[in-house]
């Protein structure tokens, strides 16, 4: 469909959905972002919705500046997926045992491990760089020094909220029925702790005194505050990537125990809450994707729906108008509180029929009805990505 410009902004704000369908709070946020003097431009994804400071589903290109609240507190949150050699015919009729085995292997919710994962003991896990990675913890913001043990024990854990682990079946095409493994998680508590400390610092800087929203406070290039934030930001993004890599390796091993004949393709991994150094029209910018994936030409990405509707593996088209980006999912159409008021456990059971998953009050806020229609979201970004595979979950593990 291409984009529609959002009127009344200093920097161009390009929208890949109906601007009139954007909730008023989110539209106000987008105009606030577009008014910032450091902003080169904003691309708004079709899963856009209200967030803290910046809207979820926004891509913000800044010159010599970055807003930590626009990155979000779950730094590096993203997706990983891998296609297996299994097909639907290989799976048992009752998938409860597989779900239980996954839950027994990968802690969910607020849980952490009794001791840190030893990468050398995880089959299939990349071994490079672990000692250097943990060695850099001592150089992070000193206010998180006491959290090192917890951060180590939370590597390879899922978290709660909209984070999930799924077993999916490919729909249609030559590989119909092929089994995929997929997961969604981020930098756990340590990313949140780092983000909140830097957001607090940014709010107090003099150049942020007159902003339309104090949550859009920025760090400026060449300052010690920016240097400290970028150091912690890059580390937290790597933490999130390694966290997903540990979980995916453990998940593959769970499946291997039950299906010894299984083989795996090369995994796909992508952040959707992060910062990247990029260049457009000869201008170097810091691109913040908050609820968006990079979709450069040929880049493989993952766009999940809700826990009952399926997901998409995509290949980027490299659209520079969108800063080579695409949506990170379906996007919420109602808050968690509203979802709990609107839907019952009976609704949840009906909307997740055929999926082996929790169907209790603790996950009603994740019901498919609380999210936008993923097929409509995909239709609105056909100029940003092409679909490689359409997946439908048959097992979903949530925190």
Distance, CA of 56 to chain centre: 10
Of 271, 328, 382, 390, the active-site residue reads 328
* CA-closest candidate to residue 60, choices 333, 382, 378, 325: 325
Buried b (16+ CB within 10 A) or exposed e, 350-381: ebbeebbbbbeeebbbbbbbbbbebeebbebb
Helix (H) or strand (E) holding 280: strand 273-280
CA separation for the pair 339, 90 (Å, rounded)? 36
Backbone angles phi, psi at 192, to 5 degrees: -65, -45
Eight-state DSSP code of residue 158:
-
79 burial (CB, 10 Å; 0-12 / 13-18 / 19+) is buried
Q: Count of alpha carbons within 13 Å of 395, Cβ hemisphere only? A: 25
Q: Is 328 a catalytic residue?
A: yes
CA separation for the pair 216, 234 (Å, rounded)? 20
Eight-state DSSP code of residue 332:
B
The alpha carbon torsion through 212, 217, 219, 224 (nearest 10 deg) reads 130
Which position has the token pair 């209200």? 50
Q: How far apart are the first and last CA of the chain?
A: 36
262 burial (CB, 10 Å; 0-12 / 13-18 / 19+) is middle
Eight-state DSSP code of residue 6:
P
CA separation for the pair 44, 205 (Å, rounded)? 28
Active site residues: 328
């Amino acid at each position: 469909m291409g984009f529609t410009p959002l009127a009344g902004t200093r920097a161009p704000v390009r929208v890949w959905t109906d601007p009139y369908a954007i909730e008023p709070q989110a539209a106000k946020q987008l105009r606030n972002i577009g008014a910032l003097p450091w902003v080169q431009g904003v691309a708004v994804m079709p899963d856009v919705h209200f967030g803290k400071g910046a809207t979820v589903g926004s891509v913000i290109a800044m010159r010599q500046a970055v807003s930590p609240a626009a990155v979000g507190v779950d730094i590096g949150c993203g997706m990983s997926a891998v296609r297996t050699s299994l097909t639907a015919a290989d799976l048992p009729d009752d998938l409860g045992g597989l779900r239980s085995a996954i839950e027994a292997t990968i802690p969910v919710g607020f849980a952490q491990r009794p001791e840190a994962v030893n990468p050398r003991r995880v089959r299939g896990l990349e071994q490079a760089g672990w000692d250097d990675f943990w060695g850099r913890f001592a150089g992070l913001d000193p206010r998180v020094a006491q959290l090192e043990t917890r951060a180590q024990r939370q590597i390879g854990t899922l978290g709660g909220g909209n984070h999930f682990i799924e077993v999916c079946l490919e729909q249609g095409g030559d590989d119909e029925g092929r089994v995929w493994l997929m997961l969604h998680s981020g930098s756990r508590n340590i990313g949140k702790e780092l983000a909140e400390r830097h957001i607090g610092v940014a709010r107090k800087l003099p150049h942020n005194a007159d902003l339309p929203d104090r949550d859009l406070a920025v760090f400026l290039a060449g300052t010690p505050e920016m240097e400290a934030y970028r150091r912690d930001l890059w580390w937290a993004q790597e933490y999130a990537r390694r966290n997903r890599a540990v979980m995916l390796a453990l998940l593959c091993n769970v499946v291997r125990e039950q299906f010894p004949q299984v083989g795996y393709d090369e995994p796909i991994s992508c952040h959707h809450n992060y910062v990247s150094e990029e260049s457009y029209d000869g201008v170097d910018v810091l691109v913040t994707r908050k609820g968006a994936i990079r979709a450069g030409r040929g880049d493989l990405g993952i766009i999940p729906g809700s826990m009952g509707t399926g997901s998409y593996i995509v290949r980027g088209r490299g659209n520079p108008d969108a800063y080579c980006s695409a949506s990170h999912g379906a996007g919420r159409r109602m808050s968690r509180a509203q979802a709990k008021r609107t839907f019952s456990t009976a609704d949840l059971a009906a909307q997740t029929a055929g999926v082996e998953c929790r169907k209790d009050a603790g996950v009603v806020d994740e019901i498919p009805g609380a999210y936008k229609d993923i097929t409509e979201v995909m239709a609105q970004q056909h100029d940003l990505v092409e679909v490689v595979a359409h997946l439908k979950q048959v097992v979903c593990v949530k925190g």
